Structure 1
Amino acid sequence: MASENTVVVRKRIWIAAGLVTASLFTLFIGHLWLKETDTMWSMVDGKSAPGMLKIELIKTLRFGQYTTAVAWSSDGRYLATSDYYDKVVRIWDVKSWRQLHVITKKTMGAGRMLFMPDSKTLIVSSTQLGDDRSAVTLVDVPSGEIIRQVDGPNEISGPDGWAMANQPRNFDLSHDGKYLFVNHRAKQARKAGVYVYDAKKWNIVSFIRPKWGVMALAAGPLDDQLVTSDVYGGLQIWSVSQAQMVEEFPITSSWIKSIAVEEGGNRVIAGQAGVGRRRDQVSGKIVPYGDMDTLRLWNLKTKEKIASATLSPQIGTVRLWREGGIVVASGGDRRLVVYSLSDLREIAVLRKFSQECADIAFLHDGGLLAVAGDDEVLIYSIKFGGNPNGD
């Protein structure tokens, strides 16, 4: 009898162990599936709202080390990605997700890339090495061949060159593709600022330098406009053809690291660098500065704040998608957050990165979002049953 009881107990132990193992395996597979698909929600203010907005991770591209930039062609056929350490730019076919071209050069590893409006030319910012004077490299998209290197405005000094002499902090294209705005570093402060390039002849046609420097830039609402930000939290609107400031107004009390401007509209998103410490010009003491609301939505026409939000200590990158009525921003806490464009209401957190989110790009007409971070590029589809903002 005791022997039979022992057998029964052993069977029960084996059955229990099997059930536990199966449960753990199911949880593990479920965790991997959820992490990889990231099927998002249709939610507003934490409540289910079917048909409003749905974001789903549809593709993960893994390659190289430290992916720093992503860009969509305007026709939706191509995606460009950049590997910083491998000095490689890749051009992908969006329909098949096949690599069409792999372009390697010592000045690759871009921090910023943009396609020209005709989708035939890719503009790649240079990472300066040695005595190379190039500021940007132009790539022919159909062939993958480098067709031109555009020189920066600054002289290279020393036998090995000054590594930052012509490296752009960031750049943007005017909406009509006529101008390329490049925020250049320089060894001499008076030479640092925004250089305006003719996007056909690729020569410098104008120079813009605000009093307090340029921390970020973006093409303005209109073709002939440029918006810049400075170290004291101010925004400036410039007439490009006249190289003159049209308007200036304060946004916050700390320097603005990233801005996104609504094309043809009045709204601008400003991402603050966060609360820091600096020396007071009067007392000479080290004092804290900066506002807790690191993300701010402003109306350029009325010069009034529409809304604000707090995203970790600082904003890395911010992009807006007017057609979808949303803003996506990355913070210093490595979160990637989606906000409503109308009032900066937080809708959801897309991803928490282990390292950082390096770049964000919308395919405006196709409802796709590309995000570079953690040595991979994440592709999200965005669908909605109606504009979340109702505008």
Structure 2
Amino acid sequence: MKRTLNGHSDAVLSVTISPDDKILASSSGDKTIRLWDIKTWQQCYILTEHLGAVNTVAISPNSQTLISGSTDATIKLWNLRTGKLLSTLTGHSTAVLSVAISPDGKTLASTSRDGIIKLWNFHTGELLQTLSGCSPVAFSSDGKTLVSGGNAGSIKVWSQVQSFDKFTLDPVLSGEWWEVLGVNQSDRPKDVKLAYLRLARLYHPDVNSYTIAKASM
């Protein structure tokens, strides 16, 4: 062990290092994010704008922006060098558990406790797409594949459809009906119905008019 960093007053839930290896970011159940200088191991900033536990942190590929997701159901973007809050993304209705940014720095993925994945334009904050999947999320090195957790021990693999600039579940890996719905075979009919209705809200043409949504449904 090289060093132990102390400062948080509750469990540390997520850590990440900037791509330029200069800053370590840590988030905690104490509702704070702490930024540490990797050379000196001194705290640079303590970020306190979240109203709940900060479950996840990530840093943009250019090492300029910190992304955080919290139990307060918000995603916040921060200037990594100054600690200044840049913007807050609201759209999830439950705790944000995982965030990931594509290698080109254009798309942000986030997941929440209710089994919803949201894709955002990282530069404008525009909500691009909503998918059904669980924490965690990760992008492939080319940004064309998104991987997410799933229920019943499954992993969902999403492929970007270039003609629509959207992500769709890989049909080869979509699995059985319960995997598609994100439930267990033994779940109660009521739970299965709720999962189906959630899927319908994502893809039904009366709600989502995108061609790829209709094809997926």
Normalised by the size of structure 1, how large is the TM-score? 0.41
Q: CA deviation at 1:97?
A: 0.8
Q: For residue 81 of structure 2, what is the aligned residue in structure 1?
A: 142
Q: For residue 36 of structure 1, what is the aligned residue in structure 2?
A: none
Q: For residue 260 of structure 1, what is the aligned residue in structure 2?
A: none
How many residue pairs end up in the alignment? 174
1:207 pairs with one of 117, 122, 130: 130
Change (3 A) 1:143 1:231: same
Change (3 A) 1:182 1:121: same
Kindly, what percent of the aligned residue pairs are identical?
22
2:61 pairs with one of 117, 124, 145: 117
2:19 pairs with one of 55, 60, 74: 74
Which letter does structure 2 place at the counterpart of 1:74? P
Equivalents in 1 of 2:63, 2:55: separation in Å?
Answer: 19
Q: Deviations over 1:64-114 (max 9, x none)?
A: 2212111100000000112312x2211111111111111223435311100
Which letter does structure 2 place at the counterpart of 1:80? A
Change (3 A) 1:249 1:205: closer
CA RMSD of aligned residues (A): 2.4
Higher-strand-fraction structure: 1
1:142-291 matches, cutoff 5 A: 142-153=81-92, 165-186=93-114, 192-209=115-132, 213-240=133-160, 241-246=165-170, 247-248=172-173, 280=186
Unmatched 5+ stretches in structure 2: 188-217
Is contact 1:112-1:124 (8 Å) kept?
A: yes
1:177 match: secondary structure: coil
Q: CA deviation at 1:194?
A: 1.0
Does 2:65 correspond to 1:65?
no
Q: For residue 191 of structure 2, what is the aligned residue in structure 1?
A: none
Equivalents in 2 of 1:145, 1:173: separation in Å?
Answer: 19
Which letter does structure 2 place at the counterpart of 1:214? C
Normalised by the size of structure 2, how large is the TM-score? 0.71
Change (3 A) 1:169 1:103: closer
Which letter does structure 1 place at the counterpart of 2:128? V
Q: Deviations over 1:247-306 (max 9, x none)?
A: 3166xxx9xxxxxxxxxxxxxxxxxxxxxxx8847xxxxxxxxxxxxxxxxxxxxxxxxx
Is contact 1:123-1:138 (8 Å) kept?
A: yes
Q: Deviations over 1:128-177 (max 9, x none)?
A: 1xxxxx52111111111111111124xxxxxxxxxxx2421212112222
- Higher relative contact order, chain-length normalized (CA < 8 Å, sep 6+): 1
Equivalents in 2 of 1:215, 1:103: separation in Å?
Answer: 24
Equivalents in 1 of 2:28, 2:97: separation in Å?
Answer: 17
Which letter does structure 2 place at the counterpart of 1:168? V
Which letter does structure 1 place at the counterpart of 2:136? A
Equivalents in 1 of 2:156, 2:109: separation in Å?
Answer: 14
Equivalents in 1 of 2:136, 2:36: separation in Å?
Answer: 28
Larger-Rg structure: 1
Is contact 1:89-1:109 (8 Å) kept?
A: no
Which letter does structure 1 place at the counterpart of 2:33? V
Equivalents in 2 of 1:72, 1:208: separation in Å?
Answer: 28
